[in-house]
Structure 1
Amino acid sequence: MQGSEDSWAAAMKEAESPEDRDPALWAKCFAESEGDEQRAKAAYMRAKVAGGTPPSATAAAEEPPAAKPRKKRLLPWWGWVLLAPVIAIGGLMLIGALMPDNPERDARWRAQDAIKLCWSEQGRKSLDASTAWFVAGACEKMERDYEARWGRKP
């Protein structure tokens, strides 16, 4: 206990003598005690005995640190939900506008569409068996012609 009392006495002697004080520690204690010299001396002594850093004299009176400000978003989530389809459609329209005209590609697409239409007509229930057989033959011929011209199946 004697060693502890000696450290308090040494801290008090140092706090009372402006020449012996640690200037940085004194400034911190003085600022935290809001200019009250007696409270600054008490904080200085506690800090010296504790090991160098003063307890905050005004910790209870201080407000908690403010939370970091949130980054402002470009758009809220629902804005992106509404904007995404518009951007997608616009992009597809731009791609379509920039695609060069290709008559061969257009002819191939028309031939594919014709074959699809032929098979959908052949599948109608209202056709009798002989008519359905005839339409199926026409559809198969269209597929053979397509494969001969384009080198692949439709």
Structure 2
Amino acid sequence: MKTGECMALVACYECKKEISSEAPSCPHCGAKKPSNVKTYLLGTVGVIIAWAIYAVSSTDTSSPEAREKMNAQAAIEKCWETQRRESLDAGQKQFLAGVCEGMESKYTAKYGTNP
């Protein structure tokens, strides 16, 4: 530690007694400081799992119409992805933009919502 620096006192996450922020474990109860990386990774994995469960439960793919709607959305996404390619010239990009917009219009007319 450099001269003039002081350690902060924080509450132990387990026993709540004050300990140094630099202490690897609590001198009172022995609890080890939780790893920030572990906490971050567990939180991230939890969010991904929750999103996946939501996506699966909210998407009804059992009916042919639902599958058709999903395929139409995927086709529109692929169209815009192709339109954004760096290798296309301005005329090709403009043509593809018109195609993608036409696909979106048909989707909106058929399903009553934007893709």
TM bracket (short chain): 0.3 to 0.5
Structure richer in strand, relative to its length: 2
TM-score, normalization by structure 2: 0.46
Q: Which has the higher helix share?
A: 1
Query: With structure 1 as the length reference, what TM-score do the two structures score?
Result: 0.38
